[in-house]
Amino acid sequence: MRILISLLIAFFCAPLSQAQNVQIDGKIDGFNGKTIKVGVYADYFTYTKKELGRQSIENGSFEFSLGLKSTSQVYIQVEDKSTSFFAEAGKKYTINLSYDAATNQGRAYDKSLNIAIVNEGATSLNAKIKQFNKEYQDFFSKNYRSFVIGEAKEEINLFIQKAQENTIYQSPEFLKQYVRYALANLKDINKESKSKLVEEYLVDQKVLFTHKEYMNFFQQLYQKDFEMLMLKKEGVPIKKAIMVEKDLPKTLELIGAEKGFKSKELIELYLLNGLYETYHESIIEVESNQAFLKKLSKEASTANNQQLAKNILTAVSLYQKGSAAPYFALKDSQGNVKKLTDYSGKLLYLNFWAKWSIPSLREMKLMQKLQEEYGDNVQFVSINLDENPSINKSEKERNGYAWDLLYGGEDYDLREKYEVKTVPLYFLIDAEGKMEQIFAPNPVQMDKIFYNRFKKTK
């Protein structure tokens, strides 16, 4: 009998913890043969993307089956164009995507796709979120001047009251929490007591790790808080526990006592947020910061916090001297594949450029002078991001550039790895393929740096 009961409990409880299928059927014109990717955000600190599927668009159509345990923000990306929507576990979505070049004019890489969910009505989750976001944005636009001079308290209170009383925002639960924490952000802007906000929205509350508005509220509420704590006498014991004693349990205990947190998960989240914010500051030395992130990636009390620690470590690794430079294998102007490893053995000055960027073209001329002057000591490589691959070859031939110009216009994963948000952009990579300087100086500044490094030593 006990075995039978156990089996019945397992049968009825399993769906609560197991992933449910989400079906996405979609159409998009003008991108046949292009790769479309879908996934979710692994966390809302680093916005690390967790890809769940990719395929080639055929006849303007695509379809995906995703396994989701709960309501999640699903992103859809084609090349450097993306959009997102909230998908509820177990549901089917029919979507139409489109791209408006005029709307995206002037945007370098943050280009957006338009999305229409065909089979959702006005009472659907996405429709309600869209309605609330519009009301929220309209409220900000209408009261912008009052916000600037700090005289919007009455208006904020009225808006919060109206939203809280609106019954359409009470369900489903995901929407209710979405609105709740968006309004909590407004209360914080309205200079409501931090201790009161903590008591109302964090203490004895479930940590909504995968909920965007919860995490936005948490980060806004504690922005610079860890940094300021480390500069006060109250923070000295915590700083000592991190940098000298290297004691994670003691650090968490001290933070809990100082911030009034009882939940270990919440204390860890506060510490993770603080370590991430101050990683490149002199508040906590980088070695100690990294050591504690590694500890938390293995010893944090929840799988979510362990994963967040791992994501933060990955996010900051590119910014750390000595980390491996993101790998690439791209064709040069002659069609030959060149890999990052082909340039080992000598310092590499790498840049991203595009013909539509006037500063790019101007600084390519300056790179030419650098290459002529320091080519014996430094390798120069330029990655072109134009949509038309012939531009890479024609620019090299027309200007007589004597270094490798590689074409990366269709490698959108590489752009993400190098965090190319604009061009021109420069990196300095050492002889072993490790990052020496991310977002390195432009050619004008590098001229003096190379001179001091190579000419003065002769």
Q: What is the DSSP string of 415-446?
A: HHHTT--SSSEEEEE-TTSBEEETTPPPHHHH
Q: What are phi and psi of 329, to 5 degrees?
A: -140, 100
What length does the chain have?
458
Average pLDDT, the chain: 91
What pLDDT, in 10s, does the model give residues 92-149?
Answer: 999 999 999 888 876 667 789 999 999 788 899 999 999 999 999 999 888 888 877 8
Q: What is the pLDDT of residue 150?
A: 78
Cα radius of gyration (the chain): 26
Q: Which two tokens stand for residue 101?
A: 């070049």
What pLDDT, in 10s, does the model give residues 322-361?
Answer: 889 999 999 999 999 999 999 999 999 999 999 988 899 9
Q: Provide, rounded to the nearest whole percent, the portion of the chain with pLDDT above 70.
A: 94
Q: What is the pLDDT of residue 367?
A: 96
Q: What is the pLDDT of residue 3?
A: 42
**CA atoms of 189 and 203, how far apart (whole Å):** 20
Name the maximum alpha-carbon separation found in the chain. Answer: 87
Give the pLDDT band of residue 403 (cuts 50, 70, 90): very high
Q: Which amino acid is at 43?
A: D
- 139 within 8 A of 182, measured Cβ to Cβ: no
CA atoms lying within 13 Å on the CB side of residue 169: 21
Residue entry with tokens 């980060």: 219
CATH assignment of 329-455? 3.40.30.10
Q: Which amino acid is at 60?
A: G
- 250 within 8 A of 257, measured Cβ to Cβ: no
Stretch 411-426: mean pLDDT, rounded?
88
Q: 328-339 burial by CB neighbour count: b if 16+ within 10 A, else e?
A: bebebbeeeebe
Q: What is the pLDDT of residue 37?
A: 96
Residue 260: name the closest of 300, 187, 214, 204 by CA: 204
Q: Which amino acid is at 19?
A: A
Stretch 61-84: mean pLDDT, rounded?
96
- Name residues whose C-beta falls within 8 Å of residue 343's C-beta, 6 or more positions apart in sequence: 379, 381, 429, 433
Q: What is the pLDDT of residue 319?
A: 65
CATH assignment of 14-120? 2.60.40
What pLDDT, in 10s, does the model give residues 212-253?
Answer: 999 999 999 999 999 999 999 999 999 999 999 999 999 999
Cα dist from 48 to 45, 210, 312, whole Å: 8, 12, 9
DSSP 128-165: HHHHHHHHHHHHHHHTHHHHHTT--HHHHHHHHHHHHH
Residue entry with tokens 């200007």: 399
**CA atoms of 407 and 386, how far apart (whole Å):** 8
DSSP 67: E
Q: Which two tokens stand for residue 291?
A: 């050591």
- 454 within 8 A of 374, measured Cβ to Cβ: yes
**CA atoms of 57 and 27, how far apart (whole Å):** 9
**CA atoms of 133 and 178, how far apart (whole Å):** 10
pLDDT at 282 over 90: no
**CA atoms of 95 and 4, how far apart (whole Å):** 44
Residue 431: name the closest of 359, 377, 381 by CA: 377
Q: What is the pLDDT of residue 1?
A: 41
